[in-house]
Structure 1
């Protein structure tokens, strides 16, 4: 999957399946890629950021949950809670409903990328880099 990640991430999402592939590739790269199933950008794991500075990574986790864990499975109360959380994630991304058209899937991808770029910029700004 890691060798496929760059190609997948350059795909413009037009379908649910496209979004799922992009989200999974980014999740594996940014979250699981550090090993131990933990986000290495976080201060408890040696990184420069606090959890509240990694909002787009949490969006990524939530979007991945949609693909790999049926939100309607199990207890109805838990299912409603999962759908509410998914809705909150979409709102945080600047979306007001579940994407259903190629343009909306592409917009979701764009918002996700913009958020992840912001997280990575915060991490970069926090690192003590030598001056040029």
Structure 2
């Protein structure tokens, strides 16, 4: 009577169990969904980059106008109103820029999180195939 170990062909893998097959398929579906989610996040990061660029450019323009108004002579009530308005605009733009940069950081963090999840699912698929 041959031992069950000697009956197995050397160098072959045992077939996947039903549970391994299910987990393999689930991991594959999660990877597909995470790829789609990552693409959405990448588009968001691109849009945020463009908005950050435009806001920065406009902020610099407003700061230059404010500086010109601050040093203009003679001082008038109209000029003081312009300086106050430009100062308010500059402050608002700086806050907007901070918010955009924060949103970008959050999106980059989400992208990293999705990468980690996909790596874990890829390893799970590998393990499911092996044994």
What TM-score comes out, normalization by structure 2 length? 0.30
Higher percent of residues as helix: 2
Larger radius of gyration: 2
Structure ranking higher on relative contact order (CA contacts 8 Å, 6+ apart): 2
What TM-score comes out, normalization by structure 1 length? 0.30
